[in-house]
């Protein structure tokens, strides 16, 4: 299975989980919520993570990278997901 890198690309407002631009996590064999990653954000990211882990491609990706927003529209964090083959 492929590894997936998660990175905070932008933060609008105040993230209650404390995420900041540049925070990073890596998903490899273990598909549990990474330490210090908001579980609500992980819930949104999970389908995209699984697609990339299984070798799938996202049609709108740019250089293999996609941006996925969290669910808090007033204090939105944008996460970048990239497949590490």
| Alpha carbons 36 and 48: distance in angstroms, whole number | 19
pTM of the full structure: 0.92
- Please tell me the predicted confidence (pLDDT) of residue 29: 80
Residue 70 banded pLDDT, cuts 50, 70, 90: very high
- Please tell me the predicted confidence (pLDDT) of residue 1: 85
Structural domain of residue 80, as residue ranges?
Answer: 3-84
Q: Which token pair is 23?
A: 């925070």
Q: Domains in the chain: how many in total?
A: 1
pLDDT tens digits along 8-66: 999 999 999 999 999 999 998 877 889 999 999 999 999 999 999 999 989 999 988 99
Q: Which token pair is 3?
A: 């590894």
- Please tell me the predicted confidence (pLDDT) of residue 75: 94
Residues linked to residue 78 through DSSP beta bridges, in sequence order = 10, 69
């Amino acid at each position: 299975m492929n590894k997936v890198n998660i990175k905070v690309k932008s933060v609008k407002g105040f993230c209650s989980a404390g995420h900041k631009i540049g925070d990073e996590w890596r998903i490899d064999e273990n598909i549990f919520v990474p330490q210090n990653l908001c579980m609500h954000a992980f819930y949104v990211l999970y389908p995209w993570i699984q697609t990339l882990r299984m070798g799938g491609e996202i049609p709108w990706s740019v250089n293999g990278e996609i941006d996925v927003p969290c669910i808090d529209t007033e204090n939105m964090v944008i996460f970048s997901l990239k497949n590490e083959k």
